[in-house]
Amino acid sequence: MGHLKEIDKGYFSHLFGAWKMAAFFVLGAIRCIIHGVVPDVDTTCAQDTAKRVNMNITVTDSAP
């Protein structure tokens, strides 16, 4: 599991972090679908999702 060594995380820490990110994307997608159907509702759904994901990504020097 070279990826875990590269990012210096354990298996479960990585697993829960990945699930957290997946939840951000799923909830963001649901919000965007609703916004697509009713444009005046939740007009910042895409921006909010992008900001939340960006705040939770840690870039490491070893990342490609």
| Domain-embedded: residue 44 | yes
Q: What is the DSSP letter of 28?
A: H
| Domain-embedded: residue 63 | no
Q: How many domains does the chain have?
A: 1
Give pTM, 2 decimals.
0.73
| Domain-embedded: residue 32 | yes
The per-residue pLDDT for 62 is 42
| Domain-embedded: residue 5 | no
3-class state of residue 12 by DSSP: helix
What is the per-residue pLDDT across 7-60, written as a single tens digit (0 to 9) for each? 889 999 999 989 999 999 999 999 999 999 999 999 999 999 999 888 887 544
| Domain-embedded: residue 15 | no
The answer to whether the beta carbons of residues 42 and 31 sit under 8 Å apart is: yes
| Domain-embedded: residue 8 | no
Domain coverage including residue 49: 25-55
